[in-house]
Structure 1
Amino acid sequence: MSSAFQVNDEIKMETPREPHFFKPLLPGFQSGVAIPLDFYSKHIQGAEINKPWKLRSDASDQIWEVIREGRTLTKGWKEFTEAHDLRIGDIVIFKHEGDMVFHVTPFGPSCCEIQYTHPHIVKEEADADDAPTFSYDYCFLAEVTPTNQKDDKMFLPVEAMRCGALNQQCKEVKLVNKEGKSWTARFGFSESDGAYYISRGWKKFCRDNRCTNGDLFVFNVVGDGTTTPLLCVCPERKECTELLIKHFSRIDGSIASTSRN
């Protein structure tokens, strides 16, 4: 597997004059992309607030100006993503060349650099019908418990068997937090339980994200059934909110039932 997902948000280069960071593109990425906190505090914080970022790539001679609001790139970012046909599951590497000029290199879910045809900026595809279809509509709720941390093993709901991004041939997954940092975990299937599970990485994910027992994560599954799936901590989306509401409704109902007895 490529090591692109195994590095920190900030990739340390031989020269500090061109620091890097990378971002996996999660659902809702077109509305804005967050700058990793570590990179922001070392290289961006204190810069002129109203000065736009200038993004360029090898795909075109054009330079896109993108507005930064706090740690988030907003106005102009959507136009950049559309021009480069960026999609959920892609990865973009930002190289700071100085004076808020960034060279952006997009990678596909296979962790290979995306090749563009000229003069138009489009992904090279033999046939649009042959392009992989990514499944990112399946969300599930995961709870941090004493048992799954101790065993370093967290089971997915049985319904995950119907998710096209997952299959029993998968050997590993990437757990991605809201900041875009990722952890590699083993992925397996339990015949006795009839469910997928994550192990050898779940405990580290919980520890590195300072989780405590009872914490809840809504994970969004991203993948095409052939590449390593991404389990991304879900951004604020209607589906994610509904899962949490259902969860707490069940808890409230259980408490109410107990109090009546």
Structure 2
Amino acid sequence: MALLVVENLTKRFGGLLAVNSVSFGVETAEILSVIGPNGAGKTTLFNMLTGIYAPTTGSASLAGRPLVGAKPHQIVAAGLARTFQNIRLFGSMSALENVMVGRHSRTKGGFWTALLPGKAGVAEEKQIAQRASEELDFVGLGHCAAQTASCLCYGDQRRLEVARALATDPQLVLLDEPAAGMNPQETRSLIALIRRIQKRGITVVLIEHDMNLVMNLSDRVVVMNFGQKIADGAPAQVRSDPQVIAAYLGSGAA
């Protein structure tokens, strides 16, 4: 059984059908790209998988655990983490502190532990800081641990978001346009990072407009247009699909 199973997921906003009965599966440690023109419903799909939007109909599960109806923090606890199209860091906090926020989703201590930390609470906080430091090293930002997040360059902020997601111990991570705004060197670094994530046994699903990245990195590609899935297959297969060509280049291109 696939790690992530999406079945007939649909989202309506009034009279607008943003996502229309989309189904697909993702295997463990697979890299799947979700592509399509602007407005195709890709981010809405991610928002349904992470509990930000409730689907109108349909279902989704991670390792057999239902995602629909769960709250965002419950979905993170189930092993699904994400980054966002628009960077959402705590700008006044350090890079290390931002990643520690992600790691706190796996802590045992609650409100009173944070308010009145005893010996166990202090020890746990040290463990959190250590794990956050390891994730910063993993994404190549170990030297930036003490820097304020808002002072990091754009590409480093993107990688910091990935580190924060990894600190939650995900089985699967959703990356929403991770290469947006990156220069070619930053994009090459991102591709290498995603491959290292895959080698850790973590499944990656990404939304991306950089077709060179998508075709060189993905094991599989799902294509959406006007809220519907129009193709699903290997990159070479999808690239030559007449419906995909028409969606990107106009009906005359097919």
- Structure with a larger share of its residues in helix: 2
**What TM-score, normalized by structure 1, do the two folds share?**
0.24
**What TM-score, normalized by structure 2, do the two folds share?**
0.25
- Structure with a larger share of its residues in strand: 1
Report the structure number with the largest CA radius of gyration: 1
